[in-house]
Copies of this chain bind each other. A is one copy, B any other.
Amino acid sequence: MAPAPVTRCNGTSLRRATRRVSQLYDAVLAPVGLKSTQRSILIAVSRLGSPGMGELAAALVLDRSALAHNLKPLERDGLLRVAPDATDRRSRRVTLTEAGEERLAQSKALWEQAQKRFEKAFGKHEAAVLRETLARIASPEFAEAFLR
Residues of A within 8 A of B (CB): 1-25, 36-37, 39-40, 43, 48, 55, 58-63, 111, 114-115, 117-122, 126-127, 130-131, 133-140, 142-143, 145-148
Contacts and interface: CB of A to CB of B under 8 A. Distances in A.
A58 to B, nearest CB: 3
Given A58-B2, A140-B2, A142-B122, A134 B9 contact: no
B146 A24 contact: yes
A1 B58 contact: yes
Copy count, this protein chain: 2
A135 B13 contact: yes
* Chain A, interface SS category: helix
Q: What are the 7 closest A-B residue pairs judged by CB atoms, nearest first?
A: A2-B58, A121-B145, A17-B134, A16-B138, A13-B134, A16-B61, A17-B137
A32 to B, nearest CB: 15
B143 A24 contact: yes
Contact of A137 (B39, B122, B145): B122
Given A130-B133, A133-B130, A11 B22 contact: yes
A24 B17 CA distance: 18
